[in-house]
Structure 1
């Protein structure tokens, strides 16, 4: 029986992963800053990752075979102060490097890092998708911090017995999701006319349960060692199609007006909402075919089933 330690076990992805691993023959050890309500697994304390990076604290990895690192600051806001930016990198980069060093000392066999497809960039051209062997091209501080986290992990593991696996997912959704995706669910339920019928982009996503299933497979799969794994549901859909599916699943009418995307982009840019335009109107495709073939993996949930689960579970 392998001992699997998970940072961020109380977070959005971490909770799904703990639930998924409870179905297998593993001893799960949540690494958390405080006990997870309702979780019966014995936990170990995880200090603040910035403190860990600064050498002010340590973490107990004794007896751990596999370390899955999900804890991170998951986004960077526009116009961060320099202090906020330094904290982002201290947590995401310094914290990962410190955990990798502790894993080497403790004799951990494999370190799985949950990274992000934003390491590859922010948008894809029509008919193209990000691949694991593409040059990294992060365009914001969050994407850059995840790239540097990957690099710090790999460089720390060189010359040691520590195996590394890096997983890059796009947008993750599922039961408990909040933020913009939850707002989109609420908006689509109202059945209001929306000027998105002319949007024919393609965006990759991954259901949190599909991501947890992939992590569970990759954490001890022989072929995953040393790999960067691109992750997605395997079905890319447009923003207009996503809204239509969300509306139908909630029994709401679909009212999409065909306004050219170029007009919407210009209008949102004039309103200072370029970030919203990028998320709604641009394409962001991830090629996960290589991951599925390498690990012989099929996402257990289809998009419609995963969307239905998301709708029925409040944040």
Structure 2
């Protein structure tokens, strides 16, 4: 990890510690002797460490007093995450219960307990859904969330800024793009499985650009934000710093898996039409649309650049996938 900042010994609370990002972050922060890390997970989770503090489902009623004892820094990664096929009748209301009301409750109690800095893991969906026919998203442009998840994350950000403005607690907001790495699931895992089995894929002619971030680079950036003085009160986007088309991502992932990719060069318009017919316009956007972010602010304010390359990160991810698939 990047070691530009040398923090004094401090207690760091990490919520969502049983999740993909939280679990990796906890293990990385534990390698730094200057930190005392307290993992926090919801009580219905099962994949947590023995030292994890369990809390009830996160809401406006959650009592965080046990968690906040002696806490100086918080990384709030717990959330009601985005799902592709939302089934809730009032999805926005369900997202708000955890992502807005639950976050406010934690932040208010944290500020009252004397927590110095609150790092909120938000989402690029606060910026919007795509960057087709425009420049990459930047951290300080006006947000334009569309779906309930993105709206709830934006509302939480606004509430955190308000709490920070009337207390002594600093707030830093981080909006990651798609995160991948060892143990990744969902679409990224499916993609690796297709490639490893030699399945012919119709994605050989997609010329979009998408930003990704490896779990290693994301957690390194969170580490830097824990105490860097210039991170206070700021919002950041984070990525690997190099954007790939869907076609290039498939080719590079196949190389990492030591297999040959078989990609048919079908026109992207054909794929978009097929997605519309199948009522999967969301999938079409992910495969054919662009979503790019700028990390120039990270470099300028914090002196941060991604410590590992996409090629290195994909190799680590692929090796872990192959080991798990044995």
SS in 1 for 2:275: helix
* Whole-Å separation in 2 of the counterparts to 1:37 and 1:262: 42
2:144 — aligned with what?
137
2:38 — aligned with what?
29
1:273 — aligned with what?
280
8 Å CA contact 1:110–1:219 kept in 2: the answer is yes
RMSD: 1.8
* Whole-Å separation in 2 of the counterparts to 1:201 and 1:71: 31
* Whole-Å separation in 1 of the counterparts to 2:42 and 2:285: 35
**Equivalent position to 1:17, from 3, 25, 43:** 25
1:48 — aligned with what?
57
**Number of residue-to-residue matches in the alignment:** 311
8 Å CA contact 1:115–1:146 kept in 2: the answer is yes
TM-score, scaled relative to structure 1: 0.93
Note the 1:52-63 alignment, pairs <5 A.
53=60, 55=61, 57-60=63-66, 61-63=68-70
TM-score, scaled relative to structure 2: 0.90
8 Å CA contact 1:6–1:67 kept in 2: the answer is yes
Can you list the C-alpha shifts for 1:61-111, whole angstroms capped at 9, x where unaligned? 121110110000110444533355422210011111111100111010000
8 Å CA contact 1:245–1:304 kept in 2: the answer is yes
Consecutive unaligned residues of structure 1, counting only runs of 5 or more, are none
- Kindly state the Cα deviation for residue 127 of structure 1 after the two structures are TM-superposed: 5.7
1:222 — aligned with what?
229
SS in 1 for 2:227: coil
* Whole-Å separation in 2 of the counterparts to 1:37 and 1:159: 37
Can you list the C-alpha shifts for 1:154-183, whole angstroms capped at 9, x where unaligned? 112212100000000000000011011100
Note the 1:106-255 alignment, pairs <5 A.
106-126=113-133, 128-255=135-262
Change (3 A) 1:166 1:56: closer
* Whole-Å separation in 2 of the counterparts to 1:87 and 1:140: 13
**Equivalent position to 1:8, from 5, 16, 27:** 16
Can you list the C-alpha shifts for 1:280-307, whole angstroms capped at 9, x where unaligned? 1000001112112211112122111111
Q: Higher mean Cα deviation, 74-83 or 238-247?
A: 74-83
Consecutive unaligned residues of structure 2, counting only runs of 5 or more, are 1-8
Change (3 A) 1:38 1:104: closer
